[in-house]
Amino acid sequence: MRISFITAALLATTACSTAPTTNDMVVPSSDTAEAIAGATSSQAAPNIAAPKRQAGLWTFTDTAANGDELSTDRLCVGEKSEASYSAFRQIGNGGDCTSRTFTKTATGYSYVTVCGVPGMKPVTTKGTLTGDVATGYTLDEVLDLSVEGDDQKIVAKRVGDCPADLADGQMKDGKMGMVYSVLTR
């Protein structure tokens, strides 16, 4: 009975209230709106443009410290995927990156990224990208996930033309066999 009375009172109060006018609303200034947009931006752009990979089917093999292959993902690379998921943008992917700094070296590039997911500590990754980005390269990284750091090695190489079951920007996960688009990341 009490709940019915409280519900009825709440409905009556809500139904009788007037709609807010623009004078009642707080409208953020353009400075505030820009700050909010900047704070919610999820991907910092790399500080330099990435060299382009050749179009075709690429494999990305996670390799253990002892040389064992852990998993191999396959990606169909084309114009669309290079525009949004370049060799530089794939580093730190899967998280919101606040920094992506790349430096050209004699053997390729060195880099530092800071990426994370909301509610968790950001991960700083330091690494090198060596080789010819157009046809194949290796990422050697150390992520600050633990006190001693976690090493990761990814070997990327073009292996041929894209198969009929993968379009530009589609990746087939080497662990589960799922196909997803890197264009929406």
For 61-81, give the DSSP string: EEE-TTS-EEEEEEEEE-HHH
The answer as to whether 73 is a domain residue is yes
Residues in a beta bridge with 60: 73, 156
What is the reported pLDDT for 144? 85
The total number of structural domains in the chain stands at 1
Q: How confident is the model at residue 71 (pLDDT cuts 50, 70, 90)?
A: very high
What is the Cα Rg of the chain in Å?
A: 24
Q: How confident is the model at residue 118 (pLDDT cuts 50, 70, 90)?
A: confident
Cβ–Cβ contacts within 10 Å for residue 149, how many? 14
The answer as to whether 38 is a domain residue is no
Residues in a beta bridge with 150: 143
Tokens 């910092």, residue?
44
What is the reported pLDDT for 42? 54
Contacts of 88 (CB under 8 A, 6+ apart): 46, 48, 50, 100, 102, 109, 111
The answer as to whether 35 is a domain residue is no
- Indicate whether 93 pLDDT > 60: yes
Cβ–Cβ contacts within 10 Å for residue 102, how many? 20
What is the reported pLDDT for 23? 39
The answer as to whether 32 is a domain residue is no
The answer as to whether 159 is a domain residue is yes
Q: How confident is the model at residue 25 (pLDDT cuts 50, 70, 90)?
A: very low
Q: Distance (Å, rounded) from C-alpha 54 to C-alpha 136?
A: 9
Domain extent for 60: 56-181
- Indicate whether 147 pLDDT > 90: no
H or E element at residue 104: strand 96-104
Q: Distance (Å, rounded) from C-alpha 130 to C-alpha 79?
A: 22
- Indicate whether 152 pLDDT > 50: yes
The answer as to whether 175 is a domain residue is yes
* More confident of the two residues 153 and 13: 153
Q: How confident is the model at residue 103 (pLDDT cuts 50, 70, 90)?
A: very high
Q: Helix or strand or coil: residue 136? A: strand
- Indicate whether 10 pLDDT > 90: no
Work out whether the CA dihedral 25, 31, 35, 37 comes out positive or negative: positive
What is the reported pLDDT for 161? 98
- Indicate whether 166 pLDDT > 80: yes
The answer as to whether 20 is a domain residue is no
The answer as to whether 108 is a domain residue is yes
